[in-house]
Amino acid sequence: MSDCYCDFDEPWKVYSATMRTARKVHVCHECHARIQPRDRYEHVVGIADSVETYKTCANCLDLREFVKAHIPCFCWYHDTMVGDAIEAARHWAHEGPGLLFGAYRRQIKIKRAAVASRQLCQ
């Protein structure tokens, strides 16, 4: 991306993200919450050295989209996306008073849902 000024290393040769509706239980790659049947989630297939697939739950997507919408450029990695989003929100907090607060609020929601979904399955 030409207008990106993050120090971001794009690893993908091919990257394809689609929104899907779960037909069975999946686990969110970012927060490890369970994605229940009929929940919407993002399904990603990425090809770097090997083929990787990532499933991301609606709460994590909400945080990602929120941060992306409020800062000039948000680059992030799978595995660390939630942390990347919070870090970016901290970095750009001066841009608007709602940004960091909104990001924290979404992070709390992610954590609560992840805890709740673990309890459900024990």
* Contacts to Zn ion by CB under 5 A: 4, 6, 8, 28, 30-31, 57, 60, 73, 75
* b/e map 64-82, b = 16+ CB within 10 Å: bebbeebbeebebeeeebb
Shortest distance (Å) from residue 94 CB to Zn ion = 18
CB of 1 to Zn ion, least distance (A): 6
Measured from the CB atom, is 3 or 49 closer to Zn ion? Answer: 3
From the CB of 4, what's the least distance to Zn ion, in Å? 3
Report residue 28: phi and psi, to 5°: -65, 130
Q: Which helix (H) or strand (E) holds 52?
A: strand 51-57
d(CA 49, CA 67): 29
Least distance to Zn ion from the beta carbon of 79, Å? 12
- Rounded CA-CA distance 79/60 in Å is 11
